[in-house]
């Protein structure tokens, strides 16, 4: 990672930087202090009962003090029998609500927002966690993932409504414990995404078939949440621009879903894309430089072109996540009008005060390379491009600074130490 800082900014540059630091007021009157939006990252800081460990408060307070406007939590699961990863946090009636209040009090200092990302994995729950996962249809994951993820059982109609109720309960509890908003995880192949995809949803009832039926699940989730939290509590969604799979959720369908959610009153839409069968959201840091167009590379943001399209359809605030590495690229994205928030994830695991640095230094830029053990199969098995960032978050949770030269082998060792035998099992689709 490298960072370039120029302390001799002229007045014009300072005015440009103020744009990134400007407030935005949501339609319900909630004020966001600036345009920096921390997208969700895997933290793996839930305890044995899936309550938040104290370290979550430590690291999120650091991000709050670093200047972030909206902090989106890592996956908070709505059903403790359906986990995506071994140390997920769960928010339900069995949760230790005081542990959550400790987290939210620390993370909202200075006016930062903390929104709970609510999720159900559906079929994307590894077999060592879910011997019998559920999904819209009994269709296995592809791309060789069926070896680690069992073919799901199709949800019955009554069970679909039960899952919707769990989202609503988690949202009600999130408001009670001090989160300042919630985000529905509707991307990356999890349950909401599975319902939207004609590849994974082949039902012939009210939940499947046409895009109007396939989007019914996410709209009912939103309605149930809104009924619990009221109109003045922000509810957002993370949504795929497309699945980038043959027979999957298309860009055209995504735009229909965006329009329907906007009409229903959603407060903020974060744009992403891909699934863990085809992880386009990982971008070039997943080793896919050849798939990233030069125009996208120059603009930094992976999904900005899609955001430009939906901007013509809705006035709902948008956040575009993925690829931002410089103050210039962030400012240009805002100036384009395609996005209202700059979504950042992995850079914040290395530079927790990145928003403050960018707002005061318009020439700021950074780059980083995920290290390798030198053994490609080990890197793949241990998901080094995931656990290396998790270990940076764990360092901050322990009160330490991120370590840009943290070795891949050290990351492997710390993951093994923390997860035991689970570390050798596929825990992400």
pLDDT at 281 over 60: no
Q: What pLDDT was estimated at residue 55?
A: 98
Query: Number of folded domains in the chain?
Result: 1
Average pLDDT over residues 242-255: 77
pLDDT at 223 over 70: yes
Mean pLDDT of the chain: 87
pLDDT at 119 over 60: yes
Percentage of the chain surpassing pLDDT 70?
85
Inside any domain, residue 376: no
Q: What pLDDT was estimated at residue 136?
A: 98
Inside any domain, residue 362: yes
Per-residue pLDDT band for 245 (boundaries 50, 70, 90) equals low
Tokens of 385: 């491009």
Which residue range forms the structural domain that includes residue 274?
2-371
Please give the residue that has the higher pLDDT: either 107 or 244.
107
pLDDT at 58 over 80: yes
pLDDT at 292 over 60: no
Those residues whose C-beta lies under 8 Å from the C-beta of residue 196, and which sit 6 or more positions away, are 186, 214, 215, 217, 218, 240, 249, 253, 257
Q: What pLDDT was estimated at residue 368?
A: 87
Is the pTM higher than 0.85?
yes
How far is 208 from 221, CA to CA, in rounded Å? 16
Inside any domain, residue 380: no
Q: Look up tokens 């603009």; give the residue.
A: 299
pLDDT at 369 over 90: no
> 24 pairs with which residues across the strands?
32
Residues 100/52, Cβ–Cβ less than 8 Å: yes
Average pLDDT over residues 288-309: 62
How far is 234 from 183, CA to CA, in rounded Å? 8
> 236 pairs with which residues across the strands?
183, 268
Residue closest to 88 by CA, chosen among 140, 129, 136:
129
Please give the residue that has the higher pLDDT: either 380 or 428.
380
Average pLDDT over residues 422-426: 51
pLDDT at 285 over 70: no
pLDDT at 27 over 60: yes
Buried b (16+ CB within 10 A) or exposed e, 22-39: eebebeeebebbbbbbbb
pLDDT digits 0-9 by tens, 306-321: 999 999 999 999 999 8
Inside any domain, residue 170: yes
CB atoms within 10 A of CB 55: 18
Inside any domain, residue 402: no
Inside any domain, residue 381: no
* Least trusted range by pLDDT, from 143-147, 192-196, 218-222, 310-314: 143-147
Inside any domain, residue 406: no
Per-residue pLDDT band for 146 (boundaries 50, 70, 90) equals confident
The CATH number of residue 84's host domain is 3.20.20.70
Buried b (16+ CB within 10 A) or exposed e, 380-395: eebbbbbbbbbbbbbb
Inside any domain, residue 379: no
Per-residue pLDDT band for 421 (boundaries 50, 70, 90) equals low
Average pLDDT over residues 203-213: 97
């Amino acid at each position: 990672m490298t960072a370039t800082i120029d302390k001799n900014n002229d007045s014009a540059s300072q005015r440009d930087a103020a744009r990134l630091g400007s407030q935005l007021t949501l339609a319900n009157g909630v004020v966001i202090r600036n345009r920096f939006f921390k997208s969700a990252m895997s933290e793996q800081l839930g305890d044995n009962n899936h309550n938040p460990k104290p370290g979550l408060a430590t690291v999120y307070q650091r991000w709050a003090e670093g200047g972030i406007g909206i902090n989106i939590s890592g996956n908070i699961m709505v059903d403790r029998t359906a986990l995506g990863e071994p140390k997920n946090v769960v928010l339900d009636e069995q949760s230790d609500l005081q542990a959550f209040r400790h987290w939210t009090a620390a993370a909202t200092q200075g006016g930062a927002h903390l929104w709970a990302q609510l999720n159900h994995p559906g079929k994307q729950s590894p077999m060592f966690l879910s011997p019998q996962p559920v999904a819209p249809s009994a269709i296995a994951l592809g791309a060789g993932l069926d070896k680690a993820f069992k073919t799901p059982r199709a949800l019955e109609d009554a069970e679909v409504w039960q899952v919707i109720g769990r989202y609503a309960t988690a949202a009600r509890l999130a408001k009670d414990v001090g989160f300042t908003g919630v985000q529905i995880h509707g991307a990356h192949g999890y349950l909401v995404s599975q319902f939207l995809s004609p590849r994974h949803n082949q039902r012939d009832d009210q939940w499947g078939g046409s895009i109007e039926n396939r989007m019914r699940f996410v709209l009912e989730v939103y309605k149930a949440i809104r009924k619990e939290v009221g109109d003045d509590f922000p509810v957002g969604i993370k949504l795929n621009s497309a699945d980038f799979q043959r027979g999957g959720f298309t860009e055209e369908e995504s735009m229909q879903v965006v329009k329907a959610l906007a009409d229903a009153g959603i407060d903020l839409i974060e744009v992403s894309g891909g699934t863990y069968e085809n992880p386009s959201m990982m971008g070039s840091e997943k080793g896919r430089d050849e798939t990233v167009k030069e125009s996208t590379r120059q603009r930094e943001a992976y999904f900005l072109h899609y955001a430009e399209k939906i901007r013509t359809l809705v006035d709902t605030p948008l956040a575009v996540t993925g690829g931002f590495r410089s103050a210039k690229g962030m400012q240009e994205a805002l100036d384009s009008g395609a996005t209202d928030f700059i979504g950042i994830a992995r850079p914040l695991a290395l530079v927790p005060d990145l928003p403050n640095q960018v707002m005061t230094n318009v020439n700021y830029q950074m780059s980083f390379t995920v290290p390798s053990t030198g053994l490609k199969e080990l890197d793949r098995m241990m998901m080094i491009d995931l656990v290396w960032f998790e270990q940076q978050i764990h360092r901050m949770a322990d009160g330490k600074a991120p370590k840009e030269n943290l070795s891949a082998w050290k990351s492997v060792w710390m993951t093994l130490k923390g997860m035991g035998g689970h570390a050798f099992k596929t825990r992400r689709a």
